[in-house]
Structure 1
Amino acid sequence: GLSNVEFVRTGYRKNAVKVLHIRREVIHHHITELIADIQLTLKTHKDYLTGDNSDIIPTDTIKNTVHALAKLKGIKTIEGFAMDICEHFLTAFNHVTRVRVNIDEVPWKRLEKNGVEHTHASIHCPEAWQFCEVEQHLSMTPVVHNGIKDIKVLKTTLSGFESLYGTIFTTLTDAKDRFFCTSVYARWKTVKDTIIQKFAGPYDQVLVLDRIPQVTQTDFNFIGLSNKDEGYNSLDNPPGNITGTVCRKPRAKM
């Protein structure tokens, strides 16, 4: 029966709120485009148990609030803006107990001509996406994570894989040289300096995830041509992951 179960955590969210913020300084324009997901947790569970929606803040209201905050407070950093969103919902509504905000920043950079930056023209340059994750509970300090993702790196040599651990099921042979293509995802917990009120390193923790797409040599034999390490096929789906977590060592006691 229901008396034997309880909610561990609840929440509902508005996904993919897109904001394009323009800051105009004399002749120079600065743009910040972001995509935000906002999740709220409320004090009661009556909407789950009885269908009572009287406490529900509509997701459309959440979307409009994000746009209004961008207008009222501006967007200096995506981390600061995420904290502004958390603070608003936790202070404006007495029945909101937790807010989680995930933001991806769209990678724009100023267009350059002959080494000179254009005053108001930008180019989409998706070398890497910056993101942040901010979660705050009522009357508690926000927890902030930053990261970068979708950094694609390709090495065409000096990436051997040898002396692997083999079993009776192993068919892979040693490769002294091979392609290595990876998409890097890095996420770290950010420590906020309460004196200077900005985010700064060093970082408490870094999590790196490498995704390795498979590269195979193209076969041209069917048209009578040889392939002298010139043509290759890459697969979209990565066959494996490499992960690593890096933590700061405890500081020596003086």
Structure 2
Amino acid sequence: MPTILGQNQYGKAENRVVKITRDGATHHIKDLNVSVALSGDMDEVHYSGSNAHVLPTDTTKNTVYAFAKEHGIESAEQFGIHLARHFVTSQEPIHRARIRIEEYAWERIEASDATSQFIGADEVKHSFVRKGQETRLTQITYDGERWEVVSGLKDLVVMNSTNSEFWGYVKDKYTTLKEAYDRILATEVSGRWRFNWTDDEQRMPNWEKSYEQVKKHMLQAFAETYSLSLQQTLYQMGSRIINHRSEIDEVRFSLPNKHHFLVDLEPFGLKNDNEVYYAADRPYGLIEATILRDGCEPRIPEDLTNL
């Protein structure tokens, strides 16, 4: 049976690069995991094995490290843009580059008052602890004419210990869940947001500020919404981002409901007044949705892991 080659790409995945910027005694860290995928005029390497159009994946790896030195890492987005533009414009057979980046955050360790008396404040500006919060993400796609930048985060665990209810839902003969009028609402946020920036260097967003502001509005919406459902909270989180950040047209969230069930303490003669909960890790409700600026079409995949 005749066959033809379909969509394909190749590259070097998970290039771990740590860039230290030394500002005198004060150091700054950028810690990235960079994956490069290239596509274009690559039919012949599949059909005959000819590597005439193939830039070695080892070269893409070396480029990541060289660019960290040559261009620095101002932000994950800016670094990905530099890489994508380089691969598409420097190699004729390459028509499209997709750069995926995870960023791992570090925070400075502060010296105690007692310690700083002996070693001086400057000498602790090179000590860091890995933040135990979210992992930052970005994907940059460039085809020589059009850019698409989608950023996001994962593994951001949040909780409201009150101001959440769940009642009035459909019930049938299999329903055993009791209605809740004061419950814990907890989730582990996976989110992506798509920028409307195309190619105007003058209008390029401040990527670092944008990320911090998106996260701020996301968390404020989670904290301030009196929630009657996780769906309602999700919509408020996305809406607040769209309404406050003009550079973003689309937000998609995947929110697993990290269920906390009240423990029955009556067998022990104890009253559980919304104090003791069983944290169940599975199975869990999974709430997913996209929030769009009015008039925009969705482009973020339903499966966030496919970015």
Instruction: Please state which band the TM-score falls in when normalised by the shorter chain.
Output: 0.7 to 0.9
Which residue pairs with 2:175 in the alignment?
170
1:37 maps to 35
Aligned to 1:56: 54
In 1, are the aligned partners of 2:9 and 2:37 still within 8 Å (CA)?
Answer: yes
- Quick one: which amino acid aligns to residue 26 of structure 1? G
Aligned pairs, how many? Answer: 247
CA distance in 2, matches of 1:10, 1:125: 36
| Alpha-carbon distance between aligned partners in 1 of 2:22 and 2:149, rounded to the nearest angstrom | 28
Question: How many Å separate the matches in 2 of 1:184 and 1:191?
Answer: 23
Q: Distance in 1 between matches of 2:110 and 2:85?
A: 38
CA distance in structure 2 between the aligned counterparts of 1:105 and 1:238, rounded to whole angstroms: 29
Partner of 2:135: 129
In structure 2, the residue matched to 1:213 is 258
For 1:15, what is the secondary structure of its paired residue? Answer: coil
SS of the residue 2:133 aligns to: coil
CA separation in 2, counterparts of 1:40 and 1:226? Answer: 62
Tell me whether 94-103 or 39-48 shows the greater mean CA deviation: 39-48
DSSP-derived class of the 2:58 partner:
helix
Q: Deviations over 1:115-144 (max 9, x none)?
A: 98942222211222221111111x212210
Cα deviation for residue 194 of structure 1 reads 2.8
State which drifts further: 17-26 or 212-221: 212-221
Quote the residue 2:202 is aligned against: 195
Match of 1:68 in 2: 66
**SS state of the match for residue 86, structure 1?**
helix
| Aligned residue in 2 for 1:80 | 78
Tell me, what secondary structure is at the counterpart of 2:13?
strand
Residues 227-238 of structure 1: matches in 2 within 5 Å? 228=272, 230-237=275-282
Q: Give the Å deviation of 1:8.
A: 3.8
Q: CA RMSD in A?
A: 2.8
The verdict on how the C-alpha distance between 1:221 and 1:176 changes in structure 2, with shifts beyond 3 A counting, is closer
CA distance in 1, matches of 2:136, 2:83: 18
Q: Residue type of the partner of 2:168?
A: S
Conservation of the 8 A alpha-carbon contact between 1:213 and 1:238: no
Q: CA deviation at 1:217?
A: 4.6
Is the CA contact (8 Å cut-off) linking 2:138 and 2:149 kept in structure 1? yes
8 A contact 1:21–1:74 mirrored in 2:
yes
Structure with the largest fraction of helix: 2
Q: Aligned pair 1:156/2:154, yes or no?
A: no
Q: Which amino acid aligns with 1:90?
A: V
Distance 1:227 1:58 in 2: 66
Contact 2:150–2:193 at 8 Å: present in 1 too?
yes
- Percent identity between the aligned chains? 28
Partners in 1 of 2:282 and 2:92 — Cα distance? Answer: 46
Counterpart CA distance in 1 for 2:271 and 2:129 is 37
> 1 or 2, which has the higher strand percentage?
1
Q: Answer whether contact 1:212 1:238 (CA < 8 A) is retained.
A: no
Give the equivalent residue in structure 2 for 1:185. Answer: 190
Match of 1:17 in 2: 15
Please name the residue that 2:235 is paired with: none
SS of 2:110 mapped into structure 1 = strand
Q: SS at 2:127's partner residue? A: strand
